[in-house]
Chains A and B, each alone.
Chain A
């Protein structure tokens, strides 16, 4: 048992840190309004930030860090999970644009299960950061019950013909391709009836409509597929293996909880509290304020420990299924707790969204208060995570 980074890991951490300080624009911390755990804020809300994010991703690709976990033969860095964790921690600490769906999910899945054609078609472009994808999983009638999807892909000569509707599709309007799951065998049992596809957003029959989230930002979309022809070579791996590949891809996503963002935001709020007064007394001397902030500090420490534990298990070849649910659940509930506490401490000033001279803490708290709602819902609700812990972890049964 060892609760510290090894020398090699420390050196890697310093390298990542130096890179981030050099490559991010100096004004980045003010540009980014992301709330840790939330899905609603995007750096793409203003043009300057979009450009900065684009340039930064390019630099990451050049450095080889977009494909940090990939095998060397495909241009990857083959870093350990612990090093990936260190990378994710630092990147999210600086709120820097990190891996997307293409590099985080599609790439590793293709490397593991894809056909030779799949690899030839996609691996290089993904590795270079040339394309971005959106996740076509959820449907209007299939949220937590993902196996209930109704979008179909029917075999027709050299193509599949896709019909149906996907929802949420975060940044679908800014991405190039869908990473889509659709039913390919309506007779087969649930979980063994669907396949994964890469679908070009520009294919005739694809209609992307914006969904404006409660922050007023266009982050989500509903996407309609009306007789969309997709070449067969765009099916990933084998037919009807979609859910299996999707579950395995969780391995690659397990550490992507944006852990550093929690610490960064908390540190900034602590600084704010130290410099603020309430009714003429230092805000940080208020007993309730101290207690609430200390509770958050403990929760952050806890999520960090769960984070390192998950990485440590992955490096030992263990599959952290329950542990990663614990990590996801505690991290996203921390998103909520952090929003609650900052808002409670700001009291009436928590209503001010920014712009006004009396708005506190850059108006981050009220934005976070809205954004955090998505944290405990997206990528498996807190209830689904608890089901996984209870059933898969403790062996409690459905009936």
Chain B
């Protein structure tokens, strides 16, 4: 048992932080709010140069062959600055799906491009009316000679408007149960029949509604086995949930640091507000939330990196971190007082990001139910 980072992990963390502090201050998130694409291309290219985009990609496909802990460390650093852009949808969602379930040909074709920054990916899973998971998949894919024709609507698809490929989960067969007959398609983002609408969201991210209207996809573009995507998607969502936790850990660490610094600086009644026990106890509670989120997330990330079963740990991490991030960012506002209600103050960026991450890949309640299932209830 050793809860300290290795030397390599420490170096990765500090270099990631230094880089992002310089290249991606909070002003970038504000600028990208109005930007059509939603990310600075120069920053994306630099991330590719650092090897971040290929962090999980084996060296044989031009990646750096890191593990999930490395990915988590990068995501945490990105969370600290609310870094906007398609890193998560490309590297975590698209990248891991291809790594885990793609054919050798697909890997050879896509992974080097991904690592070099020439590919933007996303996952189209949720649908209108559905909450979390794969419980509702109504988008249909019907075989037509050596192609499939996809019809239906996907929701909350991040960066679909700029994606080179959308990984779309569609029903190819009614199946005996809702888990059967789901297939994952690699859909060219520029295919005829795709309509992307960027949604106006709380966290200024580029989530889209994607309508598929007779979109034709070659049968070769199936990722994994036909009709057997359920377990691939379950696995992917587990990893994505832990990845989101890592982002949240960074996010609430910054919100917390800002708040403690402000409590020491801000004077009322002739003394720093941080000298009042009411504020001190809020801060102490934040320590437990932030530290707890950090280590329960690292535990899950470590298990993924080791290839161990992670369902329980991943759900515990997402349940705790989701709720903790809401508490921490709210207290951050409360302790800052009125000033943090102003647009120009950064706290609301973290408050927004925390909420978006909380509801991504299952909120606290959703994962608590998963924990209950694991307990055998």
Q: How far is the CA of A172 from the CA of B285 in the complex (A)?
A: 35
A330 within 8 A of B: yes
Cβ contacts under 8 Å, A306 to chain B:
291-292, 295
Q: How far is the CA of A195 from the CA of B365 in the complex (A)?
A: 52
State whether B281 touches A390 (Cβ < 8 A): yes
Cβ contacts under 8 Å, B375 to chain A:
270, 293-294, 297
Shortest C-beta distance, A321 to chain B (Å), equals 13
State whether A399 touches B371 (Cβ < 8 A): no
State whether A1 touches B9 (Cβ < 8 A): yes
Cβ contacts under 8 Å, B303 to chain A:
3
A358 within 8 A of B: no
State whether B292 touches A305 (Cβ < 8 A): yes
State whether B298 touches A3 (Cβ < 8 A): yes
State whether A390 touches B302 (Cβ < 8 A): no
**A389 touches which of B284, B320, B376 (Cβ 8 Å):** B284
Name the CB-closest residue of B to A266: B375
Q: How far is the CA of A385 from the CA of B277 in the complex (A)?
A: 12
Shortest C-beta distance, B177 to chain A (Å), equals 20
Shortest C-beta distance, A387 to chain B (Å), equals 6
Interface segment among B78-86, B218-226, B267-275: the answer is B267-275
Cβ contacts under 8 Å, A326 to chain B:
287-288, 291
Cβ contacts under 8 Å, A330 to chain B:
288, 292
Shortest C-beta distance, A80 to chain B (Å), equals 10
State whether B371 touches A297 (Cβ < 8 A): yes
Given the contacts A2-B302, A293-B372, A394-B260, A82 and B1 also touching, CB distance less than 8 Å? yes
Cβ contacts under 8 Å, A309 to chain B:
3, 295
Name the CB-closest residue of A to B368: A294
Cβ contacts under 8 Å, A119 to chain B:
none
State whether B296 touches A301 (Cβ < 8 A): yes
**B287 touches which of A9, A289, A301, A393 (Cβ 8 Å):** A393
Q: How far is the CA of A291 from the CA of B291 in the complex (A)?
A: 23
Q: Mark B353-377, 1 if CB is under 8 A from A, else 0.
A: 0000000000001001101100111
Q: Mark B273-309, 1 if CB is under 8 A from A, else 0.
A: 0110101110111011001100110110011000000
State whether A1 touches B287 (Cβ < 8 A): no
Q: How far is the CA of A396 from the CA of B276 in the complex (A)?
A: 9
Q: How far is the CA of A273 from the CA of B377 in the complex (A)?
A: 8
Given the contacts A1-B9, A291-B372, A294-B369, A390 and B284 also touching, CB distance less than 8 Å? yes
State whether A386 touches B284 (Cβ < 8 A): yes
Interface size on A, residues (CB 8 A): 49
Shortest C-beta distance, B119 to chain A (Å), equals 30
Q: How far is the CA of A320 from the CA of B213 in the complex (A)?
A: 60
Name the CB-closest residue of B to A270: B375
Q: Mark A294-314, 1 if CB is under 8 A from B, else 0.
A: 110110011001101101110
Given the contacts A2-B1, A297-B316, A298-B371, A305 and B296 also touching, CB distance less than 8 Å? yes
**A397 touches which of B69, B275, B319 (Cβ 8 Å):** B275
State whether B274 touches A397 (Cβ < 8 A): yes
Cβ contacts under 8 Å, B146 to chain A:
none
Cβ contacts under 8 Å, B2 to chain A:
1-2, 312
B190 within 8 A of A: no
B263 within 8 A of A: yes
Shortest C-beta distance, B257 to chain A (Å), equals 10
Given the contacts A309-B3, A386-B281, A387-B280, A302 and B372 also touching, CB distance less than 8 Å? no
A322 within 8 A of B: yes
Shortest C-beta distance, B372 to chain A (Å), equals 4
Cβ contacts under 8 Å, B3 to chain A:
1, 3, 305, 308-309, 312-313
Cβ contacts under 8 Å, A399 to chain B:
271, 275
Q: How far is the CA of A329 from the CA of B286 in the complex (A)?
A: 13
Most buried by B among A297, A312, A330, A393: A297
State whether A386 touches B285 (Cβ < 8 A): yes
Q: Mark A373-397, 1 if CB is under 8 A from B, else 0.
A: 0000000000101110111011111
A217 within 8 A of B: no
Q: How far is the CA of A270 from the CA of B372 in the complex (A)?
A: 10
Q: Mark B34-75, 1 if CB is under 8 A from A, else 0.
A: 000000000000000000000000000000000001000000
**A396 touches which of B69, B283, B302 (Cβ 8 Å):** B283
Given the contacts A294-B319, A297-B375, A395 and B1 also touching, CB distance less than 8 Å? no
Cβ contacts under 8 Å, A383 to chain B:
277, 281
Q: Find residues 304-329 in chain B having any chain A CB closer than 8 Å to their own CB.
A: 313, 316, 319-320
Cβ contacts under 8 Å, B264 to chain A:
395-397
**B302 touches which of A3, A290, A313, A322 (Cβ 8 Å):** A3
State whether A291 touches B369 (Cβ < 8 A): yes
A398 within 8 A of B: yes
Q: How far is the CA of A100 from the CA of B372 in the complex (A)?
A: 36
State whether A290 touches B320 (Cβ < 8 A): no
Name the CB-closest residue of A to B293: A302
Q: How far is the CA of A15 from the CA of B233 in the complex (A)?
A: 42
State whether A274 touches B377 (Cβ < 8 A): yes
Cβ contacts under 8 Å, A316 to chain B:
4
B341 within 8 A of A: no
A284 within 8 A of B: yes
A50 within 8 A of B: no
Residues of A within 8 A of B (CB): 1-6, 9, 82, 270, 273-274, 284-285, 289-291, 293-295, 297-298, 301-302, 305-306, 308-309, 311-313, 316, 322, 326, 329-330, 383, 385-387, 389-391, 393-399
Would you list the 3 A-B pairs with minimal beta carbon distance, nearest first? A390-B280, A386-B284, A290-B372
Contacts A1-B9, A322-B287, A396-B264 aside, 19 further interface pairs with beta carbons under 8 A come to A1-B6, A2-B302, A3-B298, A270-B375, A270-B377, A298-B296, A301-B296, A306-B291, A306-B292, A308-B1, A386-B281, A387-B277, A387-B280, A390-B283, A394-B274, A394-B283, A397-B272, A397-B274, A399-B271
